[in-house]
Amino acid sequence: MNPYEKGIGYRYLFETKYYPDRPLVDDLGRLTYPPLFKIYPNAPRIDLPKELQIPKVTLAEVIAARRSQRHFRNEPLTLKELTFLLWASQGITSPQGYRTAPSAGALYPIETYLSVQNIKDIPAGIYHFNVRDFSLERLKEGNFASALTEMALGQSMVRKAAVVFIWTAVILRSMSKYRNRAIRYIFLDAGHICQNLLLATTALGLGACPIGAFYDEEIDRLLGVDSHTEMTIYLAAVGRV
């Protein structure tokens, strides 16, 4: 089998290349741009602290120390630690709305959800990070560590984590501008966000590990997203090491 002809991944990359002498293949028709911020107005809300816990380490030290950590102690994270991780990964840092991680066209297609499993002062449950208001919105109560572990193909670090970051993509935020090529940028955006999270956890002396293997639509159902306009694309387990 020739992967350039049969493999869907190869076909996508080749069919979304830019060429100087012909336009990008575009069969999408008219697209509507969804809201830049997703908000659950009826969900119970936890406002995050405005003062950040800034670690006293240099960037060079953090980069050198970063490693994927899969073994966590059964000790909770603090609300201040979680707040710093959320700010570092996707916090707004300018009056224009720019964030800590870059995004193609400043379209920010990535939404952050949390499976809170062991955080002081936050009941266990599924939460959405309201970026605009810097708050958490509780979508479901209860500890979903075991269920989420099964959805992540049985990876035990998910069960042992204090919190699992779950990133979804609101596809049309990027596709309305970048059309078929947008999927390339969406995954780049997710990578930027995850690396910020990994560096932030290292700076706090915590551990984290990215996760790319999971049953996509099962996690979508856990979050309550539709698997079409919004879908899960990346996870990261975080805990104390």
pLDDT tens track for 75-93? 999 999 999 999 999 999 9
Q: Which helix (H) or strand (E) holds 237?
A: strand 230-240
Closest CA to 140 of 169, 114, 168, 112: 114
Q: Where are the domains of the chain?
A: 3-240
What is the domain class of 3-240 according to CATH?
A: alpha beta
Q: Tell me: the pLDDT tens digits for 94-117?
A: 999 999 999 999 999 999 999 999
Q: Is the separation of the CB atoms in 127 and 116 below 8 Å? A: yes
Burial of 80 (0-12, 13-18, 19+ CB in 10 A): middle
The CA-based diameter of the chain, rounded to the nearest angstrom, is 58
Are 26 and 16 contacting, i.e. CB atoms less than 8 angstroms apart?
no
What pLDDT is recorded for position 1? 59
Q: Which residue has tokens 């075991």?
A: 146
CB-based contacts of 56, cutoff 8 Å, min separation 6: none
Query: pLDDT tens-digit profile of 21-45?
Result: 988 888 899 998 899 999 999 999 9
